[in-house]
Structures are given as structure tokens and as C-alpha cells.
Copies of this chain bind each other. A is one copy, B any other.
Amino acid sequence: MRVGELSKRSGVAVPTIKYYLREGLLPAGVLTSPNQAYYDDEHLRRLRLVRALIDVGGLSIASVREVLAAIDTRDESLHNKLGAVQEAISQPGTVELDPLAVADVQAFFARHGETECADVTESNVTHMLAAALSSGRSIGHDQIRDLLDPYLEGLKIIAQADLEYVVRHTSPDDVIEAMVVGTLIGDTVLKALRRLAHAQVSRDMIGDGPAPN
């Protein structure tokens, strides 16, 4: 297909597709003439993935490029790939870390038998965790660390479901893509469901009881 059809089928405007091509988010089509290129279903699929990463994952163009690079790498183990992708989809942010929050994170790791976390800033993910706790501390919520253990309990169930989803629904080739998509879409789904759960709790506990205001 040519760019017009790609645009129609994906719902992405032609100039935007051109922009993605320029930015390297989409591989160039096969040129049949100096100004004619053909795109296949793989391009369509990739384009939809890019849009999903941007729309649902809220990733920047730069992050999308990193994620795609990690997905496309052939010479690394699956585990390393996933690690690279996770770094790409976890932006560090600009909060400066509170040493006490860092200590909370380290204590949490120690409690759960993780030994290799000497430096929290080494990974975006642990940095993210420490940054969140730091922010909490800055506004007087230093007890958020108490939530880590129950959260982990809940997440065991969730991560288990994630794992089963991946092994059940995807061919080995697509494992990484499925994990990326599942992680990002899963984040959004979790967010939404958690808010619904809060609303329900609030309705049960507060709405029906005596209104404090």
C-alpha cells in the first residue's frame, strides 16, 4: 500500500506519517521509483504500535524511539531487552531524592531479599520509586513507605496475570512487544480500576455515612 492508504487504515494523517518516517519511528517503505514507496502490513502494525505508545503510554517521540530500538535489537537476551524497554518507558523526572526515601527503598529491597540494589539511581525504575517517596515526604507523607508491602502483595496477583497473558496470547516473536504494550496499557487500566475502587470505597464509607462537611 502507499502512504495514503496507510494513513486511512491507521487514522494517522499523512504529514504525521512522514514526520515519523523522518524521525525513524517507522522504517522507510520500499521505493519502486524515486517518488513511490510501498508499505506493508508490518508498517501498519508498527504505526499503530507507535500511536499506542504515544496515546496510551504517554511516551515522547524520543522514548518511543528507544522502545522500538530495544524491541528491534536482535543480539540481546529477552531479559536484557525487557530491561532496556523498561528503562525507556520509565522517565526519571526531575525531583531530587530525599536520602530518607532512598533508605526506605533500600530497606524494602532488603526485606524482600534483593541484594543488588546498592545504588538506587542506577535504574530509572528504582529512581522513580525513590522519587515518588521523596515527593511524598516533601509534603509530609513519610508513611507512604508502609504501603510498599501491601502494594507488593496486590501486585503479585497482577504480575502473575500479566505473565499468564503473555505466555498464553503471544507467539515467541512478539513477546517483547506484548510486554511493552501490556505494561503500558496495563498501567492505564490499573490507574482507572484503582480510581473506580476508590470511588466505591468512598461511596460505601463516606457517602452513606454521616457527611463530615
Contact = CB atoms under 8 A, between A and B. Distances in A.
Contact of A159 (B131, B194, B206): B194
A129 B192 contact: yes
A78 B141 contact: no
B195 A86 contact: yes
Contacts of A56: 93, 95, 131-132, 135-136
Interface in A125-179: 125-126, 128-129, 131-133, 135-136, 138-141, 143-144, 146-148, 150-163, 165, 168-169, 172, 175, 178-179
Contact of A77 (B11, B197, B198, B207): B207
Contacts of A207: 77-79
Chain A interface size range: 35 or more
Contacts of A126: 192, 196
A198 B157 contact: no
A182 interface: yes
Nearest to A125: B195
Interface string A174-213: 0100110111011111111111111101110111000111
Interface of A: 11, 45, 48-49, 51-52, 55-56, 58, 74-79, 82-83, 86, 90, 93-96, 125-126, 128-129, 131-133, 135-136, 138-141, 143-144, 146-148, 150-163, 165, 168-169, 172, 175, 178-179, 181-183, 185-199, 201-203, 205-207, 211-213
Nearest 4 A/B pairs, CB to CB: A150-B161, A154-B157, A159-B197, A154-B158
Given A49-B139, A55-B131, A135-B185, 8 more contacts: A78-B202, A83-B202, A136-B185, A141-B178, A151-B189, A158-B197, A162-B198, A187-B194
